Structure 1
Amino acid sequence: MTLQTIVSPLIPQPADSAAQLACFMGIVQGVGFRPFVYRLAIGYGLTGWVQNRVGAVYVHVEGDRACLNTFFQEIVVNAPGHASPLLHTLQDVPVRHYDNFAVLRSASESHGPITVPQDTYLCTACISEFNTPENPRYQYPFINCSHCGPRYSIITGMPYDRSNTSMTAFSLCTRCEAEYSDPTNRRFHAEPIACPTCGPKLTVKDHTGHDLGVESTSVVSFIAEQLTAGAIVAMKSVGGYHLLCDATNDTVVRQLRLKKNRLHKPFAVMYPEPQGNAVSTMLASDVSFTDDEWRTLCSDSRPVVLLPKRASSLLADDVAPALACHGVMLPCSALHRSVLDMVNRPLIATSANLSGEPVVINEQAAHKKLRGIADYYVHHDRPIVRPLDDSVIKTSAGALRPIRIGRGIAPLELTLPVAIDRPTLAVGAHQKNTVSLAWNDRLVVSPHIGDLTSVASQQLFDETITDLQRLYGVCAEVVVCDKHSGYASTRWAECSGLDVMRVQHHEAHASAWAFEYGVTEASVVFVWDGVGLGNDGHLWGGEVFYGTPGHWRRMVSFKPFTLQGAEQAGRAPWRSAAALCWQEGVLWPGLEHCDPDGWVHHAWQQSINCHSSSSAGRLFDAAAAFGLAVYTTTYEAQGPMMFESLVTDKPATISLPIVPVNDSFWQIDWAPLLPLLLDTQCSAKHKAEIFHASMAGVVSEVIGLLGPHFPFECVGLTGGVFQNQTLVSWIQDTTEDQVFKITLPQELPVNDGAISIGQIVEHIATSTCMCNALTTEMTE
């Protein structure tokens, strides 16, 4: 399609007209900003033009000066919903005596920082059209406008024009062309514009890949029938395929688990869209939620939200076995909305992938990877440019917090407190990987990539690094990575040919927290997670730091214990439990099941493949092994999540001694917990409650220990262990009378998804310190 310049009718101007040229940055592309400016200018009787340039929108206007001032104020104040314009420059320019106002063709040269729009759910106007039988786009699965629909998942380059999206292959019909070219229309310059005549179509294939010949308009009803009958369907979504099945059917949910080899990890559940503004009664019968959680479910990003189960739930037991919460969501696209409306029941909606691999995004991969899993495949011919998982949100300590940044949130664009000298890439951790790209004062975080164990995940990691730099027009000169040489991300950095800086894992966690809250004064930060290589070469994970980014001092840690086969411990909690018992010289009957021949114990005694660990995450694993006999697991933190699910009441605590190692370092002794955890007369529920209360209590005790000696006003909690809602809530209870403020990440993930951000912050802080030291040395 040829993009034409759009001009208004002739607009007479006074003889004493003024002219101004404005440059708007921020979120101004892919959000209906140019049509908004056009209509506003016409309303004010102004002439000139608006133009997309790479990273910016330029506006030249002529007219009465008072009108110009009001015009620019209104642009900033009343910009369309997803737009966030920043008036970067505004200057007087010579009057050109334009006769009208025009939307000029986009310019391809770079004029400012690029901002990439995110994918969003349908706006209210599109929903109304979608539900109106007389509308040409009635029930059309790919309905969108300049205010909603796919963006990041279809963009191939900037500026944001149809020719730079995967919609470029679809030529517009006469009606869509007219809407696209009409400045008064909601679809004026809506780049993904489509309708049943000229847009993407649906097809259905069976498990052998045979096209069933179902007309595009009949696909939804056909698939709804199959889902109701108990089929498993792979359906192409916005950022990848979903596997769908009836979430109330115990048999089909178990079949999906077996076919996907996902034996216990919880499935997300999608519910039909409620009518109007009503709260979903179907959802309310299965889970409980607050007004804020409901608004988040209905938000444009359509995330998965973790919500407490109700006893009245009709969902199959195998949806989220032995857990207290369900991950639920509302339809994330018009296609999902149609299917859910027709089946009128909750559906499993889990990412379509093999275990440990990224979600599949094209037809060929779907049939190859999902063979033997899906009974039917729903494809469409709009290419997905890059995979996007569902975002995941959870309430903790009274606020909604991201667990995973994906569709609707990523790419996450942030502003650095200081400009960075050289474009820098941070490649994150090995688990829950994200990558971050920083240049000038900008920081962009990729969507969730996942664990970098599989070849497919490592390939996506590599592609994401290339894609981010290409999309934003930035070439990294420095790469920041973790100190663990076994991480795939670290190996990539070492082979990249870029200047490499290594950052300790837990210091990156602490710095990500400090960055989010803008903390510049010395603070205390608890970093509790599963594992990270420490500065001393041992495995850390239960650390307390004092300081600021670039200046973290490790003040307190859990007493280390020796793990045999540490790399296996994350999926074998019994190894952590055994390590505690062997170290303290106590017997544990569970070893008769886990190490019947004593080979692991022998290796532990001989220090074969053994590692010293101070991990809080491994302590939670051990507690679950003791309390629930969860000896092996099939997904990360399965045991601790099951253990937390038992908790209902807060009991008395067991005091954990904090023992000085030297004048500036202490260790928390976990040994007093062992008698409780090994007590066969004590219920698993009571063990879980006392364990959680004791771990929460020791946080308060550590703060009390450090307070008299080290000045601080802020205390941070970060690391994957603090996804535990009970732990965080009880920490707040035990410290509510203190003068300091305890915070957790709220905009960034508390888990390893924020490591790449912390790596950038640590790099900036360290580089600034080095530059300052060098400057001081040169002037002395």
Structure 2
Amino acid sequence: MARAGTRQARPDSAARLRLRVRGAVQGVGFRPFAQRIAARYGLTGFVQNDANGVLLEIEGAQCGAFLAALEAEAPPLANIESVDVEQIDARGDCAFSILQSAGGKTKTRIVADAATCPDCLEELFDASSRFHLYPFLTCTHCGPRFTIASSLPYDRARTSMANFPLCPRCEADYHDPHSRRFHAEAIACPACGPRLDADVSTIVEALRQGAVVALKGIGGYHLMCDARNEGAVASLRQRKARDAKPFAVMAANLASIDRIAAPTPAERALLAHRATPIVLMRSTDALAPSVAPGLGRIGVMLPYAPLHHLLFHAAAGYPSSNDWRGAAQGFVLVATSANRGGEPLVVDDHDARRRLSGIADLIVGHDRAIVARVDDSVMRIVDGAPAFLRRARGFVPDPVDLKTEGPCVVAVGGHLKSTVTVARGREAFISPHIGDLDDAESIRFFEESLRRLLSLLDVEPDVAACDLHPDFFSTRFAEETNLPLQRVQHHAAHVGAIAAEHGVDGPLLGVALDGYGMGDDGGAWGGELILLDGARWTRLGHLAPLPLPGGDRAAREPWRMGVAALAATGRLHRARNLFPDAPLAGQLAERLRRDAEPTTTSMGRLFDAAAALAGVCREQRYEGQAAMELEALVRTPRHMAESFQLSGGVLDFSPLLAFLADERPGPREAAEYFHGALIEGCAAWIEQEARARGLARIALGGGCMMNMILAEGLSDALRARGLSPMLARAAPCNDGGLSLGQAAIARAAFETGGVRKENAACV
């Protein structure tokens, strides 16, 4: 338990020990746990929350047994990182006490929110319990933490529960060392706690009638409707201005999920994690077609708040027996973030009425304030282990261990899928998913998230880090921080994030495959082979450039990249015939014959070109649609001879594009040949450079690594070549992980004196 260098005392037969416990140890029932084991072993002393974590003093003959129990029996939500032990003079206390929390400069942290625990669920449906059918029951083992805390140490007075004075029975539980709610800061019951605006029966009846319901939850509002009712789902799409992007769904239990999806054992285990993320799994097409149009996978989650369980209980007819909790249920709900396209999640009741009245038929709030808005986390199993697509509820603010101490860095990420990261000591704290910084509401959320992280961690940054792109809001924000500034190239940051979480501080070969990032030369990069060594990065190779006709429009209209592929393969004369539904295809082909266009090395745009040539997707209604629909078609990647060329570090898939244009295989066959070629080509490309430089560890990053076929196929191919692939696990491989990589590289640069105040405009 204790780190190297920790001073460990050998307890005497009647010693007094001072214990400093660090980690996620506040708000998890640690103090009552300590009191219980002290009572078990007849020890006196005290336990206290403070700015550094938990401080204990124990005195008696069985201090050694206490230390062993501290490690072996810690509360479910606790994460003990270290215990410093010091022997001090005995005081002869008469009892073991829980002392009032002490303030000071914060060096501890709060834990993430956790799904309702089994004990609370038993009480929720026990007619004899005072918590029977109460939507806000919680204990020290579950419930909201991060989303209700305004500051540390974690005490009720510093949460949004401060407005709810405890009734006598809750007060008694709070002070009873034998109660599961002993010092449970969010404790409440129907007599003293928060209240829901509507009856659960009213909500369920509205959902059954095809209504869209906005329901306030743990980290914000959900928009919900019946996932089997095509009319309801289509209506939600139209009102939310979300044409085709897939919706997540919530089912009552694992048996119910088996009716709508085919989860693997690993996916089932991830569903049941205490964070209850949305998990992507294969669909059985049992839901309304508009839930996830054109895709073979759906995002599924289990209920994680008492209110969610009450909805499914009501839908089952209010059974008195608990048998229903394990039985399959046909009631399945779309549960998507309550916002209009691109805006942040709604958390405030007044804001909900203002922003959601045109979307929801029924808006149901409650009077427990949400201090921090946090969306649902989204994950999938990739190469045998969980990986994030979106890191948020249930995992934030758990830190990433950077393995070494370093300066305090604030890293502001990019423009899309924004997050911010604050590095403190040896830990990096990534904010919840913020989203795209396209509007004033999102920018306010970005600023709010950063302020909150800095406040909770009680730090003053030494350095700021940002992307190279001068027009990103995040870049401009970093320039105005009055801090030394480290600009980090987009794809180096992708590789840096993986290096940081895996503890690699020496030379590392990485590939970053994604849609767009500004290169050192100002160009549109996106398929890059990078050597990273601390704060230094070198571009070793890239995908062969393709024209980028229309700039950003090419990302929204894949047919343009289809024409660009024809230009790269000498087939522009076929543009009108191959894209008859794109009236401008012929004109664009003529322009490409005449004029030089900007180019891109983007893997994302290569996906778009292949999807257009295969007739899979020629206009995108959400980011990544073409790539996702192409992936959904693949059963087994196919391999073909001479699908790529490799010369001077440039990987050219022109032969593959020519095959798709000339042979016109069907959509599934085209998707399978495309994925097979990408895997073989990228593996050969990476191996060539790895052998030349004597490197075996390979970081695989960038948004295209969200594609499970590519990520798993490439990992297998590299292992077959004797190399060791590393995927993003602690943060998303997409731009949601950029801030982590920026922070890691900026720390390395700062420690070597490479960060400076660049000019007066940055001060």
Matched, 1:241 2:221: yes
Letter in 2 for 1:97: G
| 85, 90, 107: which one aligns with 2:85 | 90
Counterpart in the other structure of 1:745: 728
* Structure 1 moving runs of 4+ over 4 Å: 597-608
Structure 2-normalised TM-score? 0.92
Counterpart in the other structure of 2:6: none
Letter in 2 for 1:28: V
Letter in 1 for 2:237: R
Letter in 1 for 2:666: S
CA-CA distance at 1:736 after TM superposition:
4.2
How many Å separate the matches in 2 of 1:708 and 1:29? Answer: 48
- Alpha-carbon deviations, 1:94-144, whole Å to 9, x = none? 22221111111111223x622111100111111111121110001111010
Would the aligned equivalents of 1:514 and 1:549 in 2 still touch at CA under 8 Å? no
Distance 1:54 1:604, change over 3 A: farther
Matched, 1:513 2:498: yes
| 670, 676, 693: which one aligns with 1:693 | 676
Letter in 1 for 2:176: D
Matched, 1:287 2:261: yes
Letter in 1 for 2:92: H
| 261, 266, 287: which one aligns with 2:246 | 266
Identity of aligned residues (%): 37
| 361, 369, 382: which one aligns with 1:375 | 361
Structure 2 stretches lacking a partner, 5+ long: 1-11, 316-328, 756-763
- Alpha-carbon deviations, 1:662-685, whole Å to 9, x = none? xxxx21112112222224742111
Matched, 1:593 2:581: yes
Letter in 2 for 1:618: R
Would the aligned equivalents of 1:153 and 1:386 in 2 still touch at CA under 8 Å? yes
Counterpart in the other structure of 2:27: 30
- Of the structure 1 ranges 676-685 and 550-559, higher mean CA displacement relative to structure 2 is found in 676-685
Matched, 1:48 2:45: yes
Distance 1:79 1:155, change over 3 A: same
Q: SS of the counterpart of 2:80?
A: strand
Counterpart in the other structure of 1:193: 187
Letter in 2 for 1:450: G
How many Å separate the matches in 2 of 1:154 and 1:376? Answer: 25
- Alpha-carbon deviations, 1:227-261, whole Å to 9, x = none? 11111100001000001110001111111111111
- Of the structure 1 ranges 133-142 and 436-445, higher mean CA displacement relative to structure 2 is found in 436-445
Letter in 1 for 2:78: A
Would the aligned equivalents of 1:658 and 1:702 in 2 still touch at CA under 8 Å? no
- Of the structure 1 ranges 365-374 and 387-396, higher mean CA displacement relative to structure 2 is found in 365-374
- Alpha-carbon deviations, 1:439-462, whole Å to 9, x = none? 222211111111111211111001
How many Å separate the matches in 1 of 2:646 and 2:297? Answer: 37
CA-CA distance at 1:548 after TM superposition:
2.7
Counterpart in the other structure of 2:319: none
Matched, 1:355 2:329: no
Aligned residues: 727
Matched, 1:169 2:131: no
Q: SS of the counterpart of 2:294?
A: coil
| 626, 629, 639: which one aligns with 1:652 | 639
Would the aligned equivalents of 1:306 and 1:325 in 2 still touch at CA under 8 Å? yes
How many Å separate the matches in 2 of 1:193 and 1:37? Answer: 19
- Of the structure 1 ranges 731-740 and 635-644, higher mean CA displacement relative to structure 2 is found in 731-740
Distance 1:625 1:364, change over 3 A: same
How many Å separate the matches in 2 of 1:405 and 1:708? Answer: 35
CA-CA distance at 1:733 after TM superposition:
4.2
Matched, 1:404 2:380: no
Counterpart in the other structure of 2:602: 615
- Over aligned residue pairs, what C-alpha RMSD do you find? 2.0
Matched, 1:230 2:204: no
Q: SS of the counterpart of 1:168?
A: helix
How many Å separate the matches in 2 of 1:428 and 1:604? Answer: 34
| 429, 436, 461: which one aligns with 2:421 | 436
Distance 1:515 1:143, change over 3 A: same
Q: SS of the counterpart of 1:570?
A: helix
CA-CA distance at 1:16 after TM superposition:
8.2
Distance 1:607 1:513, change over 3 A: farther
How many Å separate the matches in 2 of 1:424 and 1:458? Answer: 20
Would the aligned equivalents of 2:687 and 2:718 in 1 still touch at CA under 8 Å? no
Would the aligned equivalents of 2:509 and 2:532 in 1 still touch at CA under 8 Å? yes
CA-CA distance at 1:518 after TM superposition:
2.0
| 625, 637, 643: which one aligns with 2:612 | 625
Would the aligned equivalents of 1:451 and 1:457 in 2 still touch at CA under 8 Å? yes
Counterpart in the other structure of 1:674: 657
Q: SS of the counterpart of 2:510?
A: strand
How many Å separate the matches in 1 of 2:220 and 2:637? Answer: 42
CA-CA distance at 1:412 after TM superposition:
3.0
How many Å separate the matches in 1 of 2:586 and 2:75? Answer: 67
- Alpha-carbon deviations, 1:147-196, whole Å to 9, x = none? 11000000011100000000000011110000001111110110000001
CA-CA distance at 1:517 after TM superposition:
1.8
- Alpha-carbon deviations, 1:697-742, whole Å to 9, x = none? 1022113422442201212211111111112232244344322222
How many Å separate the matches in 2 of 1:89 and 1:629? Answer: 59
Distance 1:342 1:767, change over 3 A: same
How many Å separate the matches in 1 of 2:482 and 2:368? Answer: 36
Distance 1:667 1:303, change over 3 A: same
Would the aligned equivalents of 2:690 and 2:696 in 1 still touch at CA under 8 Å? no
How many Å separate the matches in 2 of 1:269 and 1:733? Answer: 32
How many Å separate the matches in 1 of 2:752 and 2:562? Answer: 42
Would the aligned equivalents of 2:400 and 2:730 in 1 still touch at CA under 8 Å? no
Counterpart in the other structure of 1:78: 73
Q: SS of the counterpart of 1:588?
A: helix
Would the aligned equivalents of 1:700 and 1:735 in 2 still touch at CA under 8 Å? yes
CA-CA distance at 1:326 after TM superposition:
0.6
Counterpart in the other structure of 1:709: 692
Would the aligned equivalents of 2:463 and 2:746 in 1 still touch at CA under 8 Å? no
Would the aligned equivalents of 2:490 and 2:738 in 1 still touch at CA under 8 Å? yes
Q: SS of the counterpart of 2:104?
A: strand
